[in-house]
Every structure is written in structure tokens, then in C-alpha cells.
Amino acid sequence: MNPTVVPLPYDDTAAVTARLGSEGPALLKRAYRWMLVGRTLDQRMLALQRQGRIGFYGPATGQEGVNVAAGLAAGPTDWIFPGLREQLVALVRGHGLTEYLHHLFANGLDPALGRQMPCHPTAREVNYVSMSSVVGTQITQAVGAAYAMRHRKDNAVTLGFFGDGATSANDFHAGLNFAGVFGLPIVFGLANNQWAISQPVERQSGSPELVAKAAAYGLPGVRVDGTDLLASYAALREALATARSGGGPTLVEFVTYRMTPHSSSDDPARYQRGDWADRALAHDPLLRVEELLHRLGLIEAGWTERAREEIDVEIRAAVVEAEKVGPPLPETMTNGVFANASPSSSPPERT
């Protein structure tokens, strides 16, 4: 696996501004801090899972650049349909860190009342739809939402994420075909981390570049170095603007490197080559942004260390708050399930 994606050079602040817009360097610092939040959260939550304090965790280490870029590029009225590693998008859009921790602990303040899998948050207040472990189902859901937006004449776009493995699912083909035929306001974000759990990408597709599949459905396709925050942000911003202006959907393939196990239940040593971890580390999106900030002189000495300490304190405080809360009350079990939240204990009479 050797993706033919050439990293784009950014050697001066003018180039940064060209990619990030008028906010330029300030937005780059903000994006870096959010990437630090994602990285620190992954490390802390994996540790909690090993301690038995949460049940499951799926890290997004190596994909922070794409997720932060999506959170910053999407408009406030746009809807996000995540794959399995886009939790950080919800946080960037304004979902509270403590509320997200309530979800991971499945406690009484969890928005899903403890019924959803860990790492599958739902954040209605920021238009972030719950994840699903069923591969690819969110693609057709995102397309349906885009069709509804077109019907209602909303000035909004759906952004649907999925992994390389989902390109082998029926929903991928049905979704892209429908969106292409009707020219819907949707951006398809293909996060190609080159592994569908233990299955390498070349074992599931004969296309050396997955973005080539877009042409079959009449969609433009863009292949981006997903470890490059600036390139990811620029590609998303352009695709979202095209969809918003009536130009139809775009498939954006982000080539990334999975830097961790698929989840806390996975052992990649059983199937990955021995040099994979070193190759992935060489493309670390967080280090790329950190090096860029230093090279451009955009952060003073000690700024990175202070940011790391602040974020660690924030996450630890959120963990303390979440662990204080007890489990959901038994009487909430049917909330949102039945029209009557407390159905009668007596079965209805047969007619």
C-alpha cells in the first residue's frame, strides 16, 4: 500500500492564508489545538477502557486533520453523518466535552440514555447524527437528508463520512448513484485509512484509487492527502461551496494512515506488516501542523506545552464529572420508543 498522494508544500504565511482563508494563521492555531484535543482524548479514553471504566473505544488517531477540517469548514446549518471516527467533528462544532464523556460512560446524562454503543455519540444541537456500526448505512441516510434539503429549499449541505471498507457496501453505490442523478447538495467524505479492520484496501477493491469510483455515478472526485490539514480543509471548503451553490455532490477521498488498532477490541499485530506503525508515524497529521506552526513562527516558546496541559486538565475534569453521574433510571428505558413513555403493564385486548 503506497498511496500516490503528494504532500503540498506550505512554506510561508501567504500559502497558509490561501488555503485557510482570511483567518489564516489564527485558524491554523485553533485547528491545531482541536487536533491536540482529539489526540489527548484518544490516549485518555483508551487508558480508561483498559482500566474497565468505559466499555469500548475506537480511536481516530491519524485522522485528526480531516475531522478538524470538517468541523471548521462545514456551516452551522449543515448536517454531519459520521462514519466511525468523526467524533471530533461534533466537538469542533460545539458539542460539549463533558456531554460527550457522559455518552462514553453511558450514564444518566448521556443524550442516548445509555442505549447507544460507546464512541457512537449523537449531538442534535450541532446537527450531528448518531454513528452506526452497520457499515455504510449512513451514506444513504445522508443522501436522503440532502434530498429533503433540496425539497425544502434549505441553504444547507450534508457531509457524509465513511471508510474505505464502506465502498464495498451496497449503500455506497446506491447513495452515490442517487446523489449523482439528482445533483443533491452533499459532500461524500471517504476516509481511506487503508484498513477495513484487518482487511487491506487492495483486498476489497481493484481500483488503485477509490476516488475513481465517483466517475461511474457522474460525480467529480478529489483525492487529498488526509494527513495534510490545509489540503483537507481547502478540499472540503470547495466541495461544500459547490454543493451549496447548486453544483451538486463531490466525492473527496482523504488518504490517511491508521495509527492505532481499529478499536480497543483489536490486535493489529496479527495482520499488519511490522513496519506499518513507523510508516504511519511518518505521516502524523498532528506533528505536521506543529512543525508548520514553529516554522512560520506562529507560536511562542512553551505554547504547545501549555496547550497540552490545559487540554489534559479539561479532559480529566470532564471524566470526573461524568463518573459522578449514576446510570440511567430504569423508567427511562422506553423514552422515545413508545408514544406513551410508561406503557401499561397489561397487554392490550385482542379484537
Q: How many CA atoms lie within 13 A of 73 on its CB side?
A: 30
Strand partners, 223: 253
Strand partners, 224: 254
Of 50, 115, 124, 271, the catalytic one is 271
Contacts of 128 by beta carbon, 8 Å cutoff, 6+ apart: 79, 80, 82, 89, 90, 93, 95, 121, 122
Q: Please tell me the predicted confidence (pLDDT) of residue 104.
A: 95
Q: Which residue segments constitute the domains of the chain, with CATH numbers given?
A: 13-94+115-198+208-263+274-315 (3.40.50.970)
Active-site residue flag, 273:
no
Is 105 in contact with 54 (CB distance < 8 Å)? Answer: yes
Q: Across 72-215, where does the E strand assignment appear? A: 79-81, 158-163, 186-192, 195-196, 199-200
DSSP letters along 132-154, please?
-SSTTHHHHHHHHHHHHHHHHT-
Predicted local distance difference test score (pLDDT) of residue 23: 77
- 248-272 b/e with 16+ CB inside 10 Å = b? bbbbbbbbbbbbbbbbbeeebeeeb
pLDDT tens track, the chain, 351 positions? 343 343 444 556 677 777 777 778 889 999 999 999 999 999 999 999 999 999 889 999 999 999 999 999 999 999 999 998 999 999 999 999 999 999 999 999 998 898 888 888 999 999 999 988 889 999 999 999 999 999 999 999 999 999 999 999 999 999 999 999 999 999 999 999 998 888 888 888 888 899 999 999 999 999 999 999 999 999 999 999 999 999 999 999 999 999 888 888 888 888 888 888 888 888 999 999 999 898 888 888 899 999 999 999 999 999 999 999 999 999 888 888 877 655 555 555 554
Radius of gyration, CA atoms only, the chain: 21
Phi first, then psi, for residue 117 (nearest 5°) are -60, 145
Cell numbers representing residue 74 in the block = 462545514
User: What are the DSSP E strand ranges found in the chain?
Assistant: 79-81, 158-163, 186-192, 195-196, 199-200, 221-225, 250-255
Distance CA 272, CA 259 (A): 11
- Please state, in angstroms and rounded to a whole number, the distance separating the CA atoms of residues 126 and 175: 23
Q: Which region holds residue 169: left if phi is over 0, alpha if psi is between -120 and 50, else beta?
A: beta
Give residue 199's pLDDT.
Answer: 87
Pick the catalytic residue from 19, 39, 258, 288.
Answer: 258
Catalytic residue among 19, 44, 95, 262: 262
* Catalytic status, residue 262: yes
- The reply to whether 57 belongs to the active site is no
From 251, 253, 205, select the one nearest 226 (Cα to Cα).
Answer: 253
